[in-house]
Amino acid sequence: MIRFVCFLLLMIAVLSSPVDVQAADFEVTPILGYTFGGSVKDSETDDSFDFDDSVSYGVILGLRDESKKGSAFYEILYSHQPTYLKVDDKALFDKDHLDVDINFFHFGGRFGTDGEMVNPYVVAGVGVTYFDVKGGDSETKFSFSIGGGVNVPLSERISLRFEGRGFGTVLDNDSSVFCVDNQCLVDLKGDVLWQYTGFSGLVFSF
Protein backbone atom coordinates (compact mmCIF):
# COMPACT_ATOMS: atom_id res chain seq x y z
CA MET A 1 0.00 0.00 0.00
CA ILE A 2 2.81 2.43 0.92
CA ARG A 3 4.72 1.59 -2.27
CA PHE A 4 1.56 2.13 -4.32
CA VAL A 5 0.99 5.59 -2.83
CA CYS A 6 4.66 6.55 -3.29
CA PHE A 7 4.46 5.49 -6.94
CA LEU A 8 1.44 7.69 -7.52
CA LEU A 9 3.11 10.65 -5.81
CA LEU A 10 6.18 10.16 -8.00
CA MET A 11 4.02 10.30 -11.11
CA ILE A 12 2.67 13.66 -9.98
CA ALA A 13 6.15 15.00 -9.29
CA VAL A 14 7.36 14.32 -12.82
CA LEU A 15 4.48 16.20 -14.41
CA SER A 16 5.96 19.45 -15.69
CA SER A 17 3.08 20.92 -17.70
CA PRO A 18 -0.73 20.78 -17.79
CA VAL A 19 -2.34 18.07 -19.92
CA ASP A 20 -4.86 19.06 -22.55
CA VAL A 21 -7.93 17.26 -21.20
CA GLN A 22 -11.26 17.24 -23.01
CA ALA A 23 -14.43 17.49 -20.94
CA ALA A 24 -15.96 14.03 -20.52
CA ASP A 25 -19.52 13.13 -19.66
CA PHE A 26 -18.88 9.93 -17.69
CA GLU A 27 -16.16 8.69 -15.30
CA VAL A 28 -15.25 5.32 -13.79
CA THR A 29 -12.79 5.36 -10.87
CA PRO A 30 -11.57 2.17 -9.13
CA ILE A 31 -10.30 3.24 -5.70
CA LEU A 32 -7.90 1.80 -3.11
CA GLY A 33 -7.40 3.31 0.32
CA TYR A 34 -7.26 2.93 4.06
CA THR A 35 -10.17 3.35 6.50
CA PHE A 36 -9.70 4.10 10.18
CA GLY A 37 -11.80 5.03 13.18
CA GLY A 38 -15.18 3.77 14.27
CA SER A 39 -16.35 3.05 17.80
CA VAL A 40 -19.70 2.01 19.28
CA LYS A 41 -20.73 2.29 22.93
CA ASP A 42 -23.08 0.03 24.84
CA SER A 43 -25.78 2.11 26.55
CA GLU A 44 -26.18 -0.45 29.33
CA THR A 45 -22.55 -1.07 30.33
CA ASP A 46 -20.90 2.06 28.85
CA ASP A 47 -18.29 -0.24 27.23
CA SER A 48 -16.78 0.89 23.92
CA PHE A 49 -15.96 -1.42 21.01
CA ASP A 50 -13.64 -0.34 18.22
CA PHE A 51 -13.40 -1.37 14.58
CA ASP A 52 -9.94 -2.36 13.38
CA ASP A 53 -8.28 0.00 10.87
CA SER A 54 -7.80 -1.68 7.50
CA VAL A 55 -7.46 -1.39 3.73
CA SER A 56 -10.64 -0.52 1.81
CA TYR A 57 -11.50 -0.52 -1.88
CA GLY A 58 -14.37 0.20 -4.23
CA VAL A 59 -15.48 2.21 -7.25
CA ILE A 60 -16.93 5.64 -8.04
CA LEU A 61 -19.16 6.35 -11.04
CA GLY A 62 -19.53 9.97 -12.13
CA LEU A 63 -21.87 11.81 -14.52
CA ARG A 64 -21.11 15.41 -15.49
CA ASP A 65 -23.66 18.12 -14.64
CA GLU A 66 -23.61 20.36 -17.71
CA SER A 67 -25.79 22.99 -16.04
CA LYS A 68 -23.01 24.17 -13.70
CA LYS A 69 -19.77 26.01 -14.37
CA GLY A 70 -16.47 24.40 -13.46
CA SER A 71 -16.20 20.66 -12.90
CA ALA A 72 -19.46 19.32 -11.43
CA PHE A 73 -20.37 15.64 -11.28
CA TYR A 74 -23.15 13.52 -9.83
CA GLU A 75 -21.49 10.48 -8.26
CA ILE A 76 -22.30 7.01 -6.98
CA LEU A 77 -19.75 5.59 -4.52
CA TYR A 78 -19.32 2.02 -3.34
CA SER A 79 -16.66 1.33 -0.69
CA HIS A 80 -15.90 -2.01 0.99
CA GLN A 81 -13.85 -2.45 4.17
CA PRO A 82 -13.18 -5.97 5.51
CA THR A 83 -12.57 -5.46 9.23
CA TYR A 84 -13.53 -6.72 12.67
CA LEU A 85 -14.98 -5.39 15.89
CA LYS A 86 -12.71 -5.94 18.87
CA VAL A 87 -14.60 -7.92 21.52
CA ASP A 88 -13.53 -8.14 25.18
CA ASP A 89 -16.36 -10.39 26.33
CA LYS A 90 -15.19 -13.80 25.11
CA ALA A 91 -18.01 -15.47 27.00
CA LEU A 92 -20.45 -13.88 24.56
CA PHE A 93 -18.93 -14.94 21.24
CA ASP A 94 -16.19 -17.38 22.34
CA LYS A 95 -13.54 -15.26 20.57
CA ASP A 96 -11.88 -11.86 20.87
CA HIS A 97 -13.30 -10.30 17.69
CA LEU A 98 -16.37 -10.22 15.48
CA ASP A 99 -15.74 -10.22 11.72
CA VAL A 100 -17.67 -7.43 10.01
CA ASP A 101 -17.52 -6.10 6.43
CA ILE A 102 -18.51 -2.42 6.22
CA ASN A 103 -20.03 -1.31 2.91
CA PHE A 104 -20.93 2.26 1.95
CA PHE A 105 -23.41 2.97 -0.86
CA HIS A 106 -23.61 6.74 -1.41
CA PHE A 107 -25.12 9.10 -3.97
CA GLY A 108 -23.74 12.62 -4.06
CA GLY A 109 -21.82 15.23 -5.94
CA ARG A 110 -18.37 16.62 -6.60
CA PHE A 111 -17.52 20.21 -7.48
CA GLY A 112 -14.15 21.76 -8.26
CA THR A 113 -11.86 23.31 -10.83
CA ASP A 114 -11.04 21.94 -14.27
CA GLY A 115 -8.31 22.33 -16.87
CA GLU A 116 -5.34 22.84 -14.51
CA MET A 117 -2.36 20.63 -13.70
CA VAL A 118 -3.85 19.99 -10.23
CA ASN A 119 -7.61 20.45 -9.74
CA PRO A 120 -8.95 20.63 -6.15
CA TYR A 121 -12.55 19.71 -5.35
CA VAL A 122 -15.06 19.13 -2.56
CA VAL A 123 -17.42 16.17 -2.37
CA ALA A 124 -20.44 15.07 -0.32
CA GLY A 125 -22.91 12.20 -0.33
CA VAL A 126 -25.76 10.43 1.44
CA GLY A 127 -26.82 6.80 1.44
CA VAL A 128 -26.57 3.71 3.60
CA THR A 129 -23.98 1.73 5.50
CA TYR A 130 -24.37 -2.05 5.30
CA PHE A 131 -22.70 -3.97 8.13
CA ASP A 132 -22.20 -7.57 6.99
CA VAL A 133 -21.72 -9.52 10.22
CA LYS A 134 -20.09 -12.87 9.49
CA GLY A 135 -22.21 -15.65 10.93
CA GLY A 136 -24.68 -13.16 12.41
CA ASP A 137 -27.35 -10.58 11.70
CA SER A 138 -26.46 -7.86 9.21
CA GLU A 139 -27.45 -4.23 9.71
CA THR A 140 -28.30 -1.36 7.34
CA LYS A 141 -28.10 2.24 8.61
CA PHE A 142 -28.46 5.71 7.09
CA SER A 143 -25.13 7.48 6.53
CA PHE A 144 -23.59 10.58 5.01
CA SER A 145 -20.12 11.68 3.91
CA ILE A 146 -18.11 14.81 3.18
CA GLY A 147 -14.57 15.36 1.99
CA GLY A 148 -12.19 16.83 -0.53
CA GLY A 149 -9.29 16.03 -2.78
CA VAL A 150 -7.42 16.75 -5.97
CA ASN A 151 -7.62 15.46 -9.53
CA VAL A 152 -4.39 15.32 -11.55
CA PRO A 153 -4.69 14.81 -15.35
CA LEU A 154 -2.25 12.29 -16.85
CA SER A 155 -3.63 12.13 -20.39
CA GLU A 156 -6.68 13.17 -22.36
CA ARG A 157 -8.88 10.50 -20.77
CA ILE A 158 -7.01 9.37 -17.65
CA SER A 159 -6.31 11.21 -14.40
CA LEU A 160 -5.32 10.51 -10.80
CA ARG A 161 -7.70 11.15 -7.92
CA PHE A 162 -6.55 11.63 -4.31
CA GLU A 163 -9.26 12.08 -1.69
CA GLY A 164 -9.94 12.16 2.01
CA ARG A 165 -13.50 11.60 3.21
CA GLY A 166 -15.32 11.30 6.52
CA PHE A 167 -18.29 8.93 6.88
CA GLY A 168 -20.96 9.33 9.55
CA THR A 169 -23.34 6.42 10.16
CA VAL A 170 -26.47 7.25 12.18
CA LEU A 171 -27.21 4.62 14.84
CA ASP A 172 -30.77 4.15 16.08
CA ASN A 173 -32.06 4.79 19.57
CA ASP A 174 -32.76 1.78 21.81
CA SER A 175 -31.69 -0.93 19.39
CA SER A 176 -29.36 -3.91 19.61
CA VAL A 177 -26.71 -4.54 16.95
CA PHE A 178 -24.00 -7.03 15.99
CA CYS A 179 -26.00 -10.08 17.01
CA VAL A 180 -24.91 -13.71 16.64
CA ASP A 181 -27.18 -16.62 17.60
CA ASN A 182 -29.63 -14.22 19.28
CA GLN A 183 -26.83 -12.75 21.42
CA CYS A 184 -26.23 -9.03 20.80
CA LEU A 185 -22.96 -7.29 21.56
CA VAL A 186 -24.20 -3.68 21.82
CA ASP A 187 -27.39 -1.99 23.04
CA LEU A 188 -27.40 1.44 21.43
CA LYS A 189 -28.62 4.86 22.25
CA GLY A 190 -28.70 7.43 19.43
CA ASP A 191 -25.21 8.24 18.20
CA VAL A 192 -23.09 8.70 15.06
CA LEU A 193 -20.36 6.24 14.11
CA TRP A 194 -17.50 8.22 12.54
CA GLN A 195 -14.96 6.70 10.15
CA TYR A 196 -12.36 8.28 7.89
CA THR A 197 -10.94 7.12 4.58
CA GLY A 198 -8.01 8.26 2.48
CA PHE A 199 -7.85 6.78 -1.01
CA SER A 200 -6.47 7.18 -4.50
CA GLY A 201 -7.68 5.95 -7.86
CA LEU A 202 -7.28 6.13 -11.61
CA VAL A 203 -10.10 8.07 -13.28
CA PHE A 204 -11.16 6.79 -16.72
CA SER A 205 -13.19 9.38 -18.63
CA PHE A 206 -15.55 8.72 -21.54
**Backbone φ, ψ for residue 17 (5° rounding):** -150, 155
Residues 6+ apart with CB under 8 A from 177: 40, 131, 139, 171, 184, 185, 186, 188
Structurally, the chain folds into a number of domains equal to 1
pLDDT of res. 12? 47
Domain containing 39: what range?
A: 23-205
Is residue 2 one of the residues assigned to a domain?
no
Does some domain include residue 16? no
Assign 2 a pLDDT band (cuts: 50, 70, 90).
low
- CATH classification of the domain holding 192: 2.40.160.20
Rounded to two decimals, the pTM is: 0.85
The percent of residues above 70 in pLDDT, for the chain, comes to 83
pLDDT tens, residue by residue, 133-143: 988 889 999 99
Res 40: pLDDT: 85
Q: What is the pLDDT of residues 90-122, one digit of tens each?
A: 545 567 788 999 999 999 999 999 889 999 999
Q: What is the mean pLDDT of residues 65-74?
A: 88
Quote helix, strand, coil % in the chain, to nearest 5: 10, 65, 30
Mean pLDDT of 9-28: 60
